[in-house]
Amino acid sequence: MPSTMDEIDEDTRTSVLGGDVARRGLLALAPRSRISRTVGLATLSFVVMLLLSSATLLAGLVCVVLVATAAWMVWPSAHTDRSRLDRWVVRRQRKWRASQGWDCYTHPELLHPGSAGAWKLPPPIGRVEPLDLSDTEWSRLFILHHTPTGAGQFLTVLMATDGLGAGLWTDAQHASRQQGFGALLASLAKPGRWLSDLGQVSRTLPQDFTEHSALLEAQLRPPSDSAPATVRAAYRQLLASYDQVVQQEAYRCEAHRNYLVARFDLTDEFQLAAARIAPAPAGWAKLVRDELVQLIGRATNAGLGHVDVLGEQRTVAALRALQSPDCPPDRHGGLAWSQAFLSFRTTSTEVVVDEDGESGGWYTRIASVPPRGMEAARLGPRWLAPVLVNLSPAVVRTVATRIRPKPARAARADAVKDATTDTSAALTTDAEGKVDDGTGRVMLDSSTRRLVDLAPGSGHAGAEWALFIAIQATTKADLDDACRAMDEAAADSSINELDWIEYEQDLAWPAVLGLGRGVRW
């Protein structure tokens, strides 16, 4: 199963996701979080003021101690973007959410704080409700309106797809569909498109044989009471042995569910264009519908198979199934939006999702893939296959991605800056006779490749991406085993680091639910 450039022919289109093994620029290792930057700048300003007001030896020693302490607190370590101060703040925030009850959603009528009764959802989900399109011509559309605190409003629509094919497909066929999907993303970056970004959710879980067993039971006729005892015993043995076979096959067989999430940011331009058509929400729905028509056509041409826009019941069923494997995604009869979210409670390392809120449930751990976690390898069209299909079916997992296209001109400007920095660093290294450990070459290859891909007329565009993986098991021991198996499978997919999110599991959880979250959660 080819996953890198060395294993596929030269005509196969490849991609590179991140993979930069270091940051660029003079301030490459500077603190990235707002809190660390603020503390660092405040300390530096105080030191400058102290030195200007006093030139004594004591003042100098105080400044040295302050600078060293601030650097120790706010500077991120080599293997992570978070400083000691950031990690401490995250733990304190986790304790505060626990004290407020935000991390323990136990009843479907719990109100979001400050919502005045408008949104009856778990606080980590944020404020979201369906658009009321009952009196419009777009009443068949089911569109979610998100109004998160401290962030811009947006709309999302959930769609089901067949996913990429498997079986006897050749590498060229897979590569052709990868190119089609790239063309789809590039089209979203063009001016005049309202679709902000596109998400994909792939769900892998054991095969559900319930319908098969029910059909078999309906077809079989038990022997009559007057039949010999040996016949009745043979019939019972037949049922028991067949049930055992079904259970064995259920452990070995897996089912895949694939979804697309279309997100529309409610920018001023979007709302003005919608207002010229009809008052909100009908105007919003008209723009969303037009975008979905184009998206479905391009997605079908890209090889994603049949794309189906989900209504209320099927959307709710999909959301419930993504939370708990006990909720089949196809059993959507009678479901309403008020039933979309199950009860959950959290610890510092996992989310426990319950259907009844009292006992049982599924333990869930969530990992993100940081840009530094991707190897700087040229990835083939099936690079994620080890994560999606090669694990044991007993490992229930969800792989959620979000891609926000960036216009080619803006992406090209970033690539020019990076290529200039990398070229200068390479020339300096050669002039000084230093031996490169491979970092400089990887960085230069990456920026140069982006410049080639983004050349005017190429039709390509840049992108910001986020990748999250959720693992679920019924016990903590099984969850630990599944996480270790996922680490190994990720390494086979050119992912050299999975950032298992601790103390923020409740906040990261919505990123894998098909709600358009995940780039800046």
pLDDT reading at 263 higher than 90: yes
What percentage of the chain carries pLDDT values higher than 70? 81
- Element at 286 (helix H, strand E): helix 282-301
pLDDT reading at 404 higher than 70: yes
pLDDT reading at 324 higher than 60: yes
pLDDT reading at 169 higher than 80: no
pLDDT, tens digit (0-9, with 9 covering 90-100), for 464-489: 888 999 999 888 888 888 899 899 88
Residue 70 DSSP SS3: helix
State the number of CA atoms in the 13 A half-sphere of 6 facing the CB: 1
DSSP type of residue 142? -
pTM over 0.85: no
Kindly state the tokens that stand for 297: 């056509």
Segment 300-318 mean pLDDT: 87
pLDDT reading at 503 higher than 50: yes
Segment 120-137 mean pLDDT: 81
Q: Which pLDDT belongs to residue 274?
A: 92
pLDDT reading at 168 higher than 70: no
pLDDT band at 356 (very low <50, low <70, confident <90, very high): low
Q: Which pLDDT belongs to residue 430?
A: 83
Mean pLDDT of the chain: 80
Q: Which pLDDT belongs to residue 276?
A: 92
Strand positions, DSSP E, 387-430 = 396-406
pLDDT reading at 335 higher than 70: yes
Kindly state the tokens that stand for 457: 């007329």
pLDDT reading at 521 higher than 50: no
On whether the CB atoms of residues 296 and 290 are closer than 8 A, the answer is no
Lowest mean pLDDT among 66-70, 126-130, 140-144, 217-221: 217-221
Residues 6+ apart with CB under 8 A from 477: none
Lowest mean pLDDT among 39-43, 177-181, 310-314: 177-181
Closest alpha carbon to 20 in 384, 415, 404, 383: 415
- Distance from C-alpha of 199 to C-alpha of 204, rounded to nearest angstrom: 17
pLDDT band at 252 (very low <50, low <70, confident <90, very high): low
Peptide bond preceding 281: is omega within 30 degrees of 0, i.e. cis? yes
Segment 451-460 mean pLDDT: 81
